[in-house]
């Protein structure tokens, strides 16, 4: 045991020195490689790390992991508590180890960890790492080459939860697949009603999922918010569970207002998808007894590319990650159709090799785009073809495969604001571009 504990401290020292080296040399962003090497030195690193963190929180699900965990991390930190968070979104086993190794203090116990987990890595992490809470955001079709169908994704999460029988599980009650996850301690959150002050967003899409009850009959809805999320029931008696944290959502162009337990929370995020993220984060913060939630929400800054606003050659630039049809549809509802638009898609492993989701996404809203639409990335030609079949005027589509060249072009030719819709590895490349600067 002493030898293994020595390995843990050796791995800690190595991680911090390696990160300093990578930061100076700029050879890597250091979000996962250090974790990989730490596990080579100390395979039980997470097991030993348990002793240095008081309360452990995880967030998983298809969409919203980074924003939800970022919100929870922000609320805890602003309340004066110490917290570890994988803020860059490296959420597989190596990325989790990477974040913990860099932020853990072996001389003082950290009060909280807020770690987002890739759905397929929940079990891998939970074999070594303890957990007090896990929040599941939603389950949509995503990266079919990695996850397969939704039942497989749910099983990854369920198998992980089964390793922690006493864990508190916060579930999105409006998603029937998430709500059906089994656990001893289940806490549900959801939406009671949505009021749209931004009419552009109140648009139906053509790709909503149809879910069947376990009895085999399609679910019925008294309210449907988007995709499969809403107030559902079946003739057999199955229905949406009772919800502890149920919120009314009012959506504005640049923010949302969430009314929960007779308290109004103004959230500086756009879109119904982000309202769900905020409700989950607020619900967990309330469970933890975190103070000053209303005040501290106002100072939240999103992670890069998650509805983040940057400046590109003096133009206000909104960057929104897209990676699957349901998420992309919700993002497209929020796009300023008077802005210059750049869509950049790669098909690297982290993006998902299968890009058939482009054809399941309803791009027809872009028929009304007033400006040129630039398409870029490895799959630039695929996007151009998809836009053609979505009815977008071909004269408005410009293909520039190189990402940096495309960013430069749209920044220098734009007359209005800019909207950039990148896949994950495009986002990572854009994060390094000095042309994208801090904005308002």
| Residues taking part in catalysis | 354
Residues with Cβ within 8 Å of 217's Cβ and at least 6 positions away in sequence, in order, are 234, 235, 236
Nearest to 244 by CA among 281, 273, 287: 287
List b or e across 223-233, with b for residues whose CB sees 16 or more CB atoms inside 10 angstroms.
Answer: ebbbbbbbbbe
**CB 212 within 8 Å of CB 177:** no
**CB 392 within 8 Å of CB 367:** yes
What is the β-pairing status of strands 185-196 and 245-251?
A: parallel
- Element spanning 1, H or E: none
**CB 308 within 8 Å of CB 89:** no
Q: What is the distance of C-alpha 224 from the center of its chain? A: 22
Q: How many CA atoms does the CB half-sphere of 6 hold within 13 Å? A: 3
DSSP for 370-414 reads: -S-EEEESTTHHHHHHHHHHTT--GGGEEE--SHHHHHHHHHHH-
In angstroms, the Cα distances linking 206 to 158, 209, 305 are 30, 9, 25
């Amino acid at each position: 045991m002493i030898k293994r504990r020595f390995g843990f401290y050796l791995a800690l020292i190595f991680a911090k020195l390696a990160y300093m080296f990578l930061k100076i040399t700029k050879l890597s962003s250091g979000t996962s490689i250090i974790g990989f090497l730490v596990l080579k030195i100390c395979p039980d690193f997470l097991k030993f790390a348990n002793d240095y963190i008081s309360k452990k929180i995880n967030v998983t699900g298809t969409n919203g992991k980074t924003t939800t965990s970022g919100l929870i991390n922000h609320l805890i930190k602003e309340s004066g508590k110490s917290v570890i968070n994988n803020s860059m979104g490296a959420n597989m086993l190596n990325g989790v180890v990477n974040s913990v190794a860099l932020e853990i203090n072996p001389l003082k116990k950290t009060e909280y960890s807020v770690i987002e987990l890739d759905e397929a890595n929940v079990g891998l992490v939970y074999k070594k790492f303890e957990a007090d809470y896990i929040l599941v955001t939603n389950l949509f079709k995503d990266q079919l080459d990695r996850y397969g169908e939704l039942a497989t994704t749910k099983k990854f999460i369920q198998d992980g939860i089964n390793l922690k029988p006493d864990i508190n599980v916060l579930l999105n009650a409006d998603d029937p697949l998430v709500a059906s996850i089994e656990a001893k301690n289940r806490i549900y959150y959801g939406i009671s009603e949505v009021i749209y002050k931004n009419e552009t967003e109140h648009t139906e899409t053509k790709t909503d999922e149809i879910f069947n009850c376990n009895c085999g009959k399609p679910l019925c809805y008294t309210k449907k918010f988007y995709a499969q999320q809403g107030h559902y029931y079946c003739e057999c008696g199955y229905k949406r569970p009772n919800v502890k944290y149920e919120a009314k959502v009012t959506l504005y162009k640049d923010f949302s207002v969430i009314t929960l337990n007779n308290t109004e929370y103004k959230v500086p995020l756009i879109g119904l998808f982000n309202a769900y993220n905020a409700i989950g984060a607020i619900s967990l913060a309330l469970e933890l007894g975190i103070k000053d939630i209303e005040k501290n929400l106002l100072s939240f800054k999103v992670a890069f590319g998650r509805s983040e606003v940057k400046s590109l050659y003096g133009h206000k630039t909104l960057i929104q990650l897209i990676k699957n049809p349901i998420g992309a549809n919700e993002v497209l509802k929020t796009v300023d159709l008077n802005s210059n638009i750049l869509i950049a898609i790669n098909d690297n492993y982290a993006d998902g090799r299968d890009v058939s989701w482009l054809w399941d996404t309803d791009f027809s809203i872009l028929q009304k785009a007033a400006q040129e639409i630039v398409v870029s990335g490895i799959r630039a030609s695929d996007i151009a073809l998809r836009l053609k079949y979505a009815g977008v005027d071909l004269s408005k589509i410009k293909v520039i495969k190189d990402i940096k060249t495309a960013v430069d072009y749209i920044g220098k030719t734009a007359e209005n604001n800019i909207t950039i819709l990148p896949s994950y590895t495009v986002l990572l490349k854009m994060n390094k571009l000095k042309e994208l600067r801090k904005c308002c």
